[in-house]
Amino acid sequence: MIDPEARRAFILANTRLQAPPHTPELRLHLADEVTPIWRMTEDELGAIGLPPPFWAFAWAGGQALARYLLDQPEAAAGLDAVDFATGSGIVAIAAAKAGAASVLAADIDPFCAAAVALNALANGVRLHFTDADLLDAAPPAADLILAGDICYEQPLAGQVMGWLAAARAAGTRVLIGDPGRSYFPKSGLARLAEYRVPTTRELEDSEVKRTAVWALP
């Protein structure tokens, strides 16, 4: 078990506070390169089998969804929101900036609590955090569930989309950011916006990803 303070120190030592290219008004503790931090996550902390440090990067789907919330604050203003698989917390921070009444950032990665806390502090917002696996239970009673970059592997994508569909059936609004991942559904969603999100070939297959924000109707 890695001490929470050690996680915080690791993040501060191996990331840099910077603006994601598609949301320049936000500041996040992000890694400049992919391979070194992937290796250091295991080597320096001596914890073999830790999940990849997704929290250290601003992925295209999250950037697009955050951009949408910042440009369309009425989509979150006054609502109780949940950011599923929050990673760095970029979408949760954008929801808070948009005026959400409360924001719960959720991720099972043990480093995310520290990453989200640091990033929330850097942006002057207040977030709640849980490391519970939300997929183990019915969707929470929230007004809005946000999810970026959730369809990168199967069968997880199918499980998550089913869970989100259950949330929508219960009356929760669901917004998803996705750059056309292989397992993203090809139908059954309403496209709200599309962006060209700058990224890196270390993370993606191109330096700019066409990325859309979708709603479950």
Q: What is the DSSP string of 165-204?
A: HHHHHTT-EEEEEES--TTS-SSS-EEEEEEEEE--TTTS
Confidence label for 115 from pLDDT (cuts 50, 70 and 90): very high
> What pLDDT is stored for residue 201 in this prediction?
67
Q: Pick from 84, 70, 86: which is nearest to 26 by CA?
A: 70
Confidence label for 158 from pLDDT (cuts 50, 70 and 90): very high
- Distance in Å from the first CA to the final CA of the chain: 42
- Contact criterion met (CB below 8 Å) for 113 and 4: yes
Which sign, positive or negative, has the C-alpha torsion 210, 190, 67, 167? negative
Q: Pick from 183, 206, 179: which is nearest to 195 by CA?
A: 179
pLDDT for residue 50 is more than 70: no
Q: Report, as an integer, the average pLDDT of 92-120.
A: 97
> What pLDDT is stored for residue 207 in this prediction?
80
Which sign, positive or negative, has the C-alpha torsion 165, 168, 111, 19? positive
Residue whose tokens read 């990453």 = 115
What's the pTM?
Answer: 0.93
pLDDT for residue 121 is more than 80: yes
Confidence label for 105 from pLDDT (cuts 50, 70 and 90): very high
- Domains parsed from the chain with CATH numbers: 4-215 (3.40.50.150)
d(CA 109, CA 133) in angstroms, rounded, equals 10
pLDDT for residue 203 is more than 70: no
d(CA 62, CA 122) in angstroms, rounded, equals 18
**Element at 76 (helix H, strand E):** none
Q: Report, as an integer, the average pLDDT of 126-143.
A: 97
Stretch among 5-14, 35-44, 70-79, 154-163 having the lowest mean pLDDT: 35-44
Our CA dihedral for 120, 130, 192, 54, rounded to 10 degrees, sits at 70
Stretch among 1-15, 85-99, 146-160, 194-208 having the lowest mean pLDDT: 194-208
pLDDT in tens, 58-91: 999 999 999 999 999 999 999 999 999 999 999 9
> What pLDDT is stored for residue 42 in this prediction?
64
Residue whose tokens read 């001490």 = 3
d(CA 138, CA 158) in angstroms, rounded, equals 15
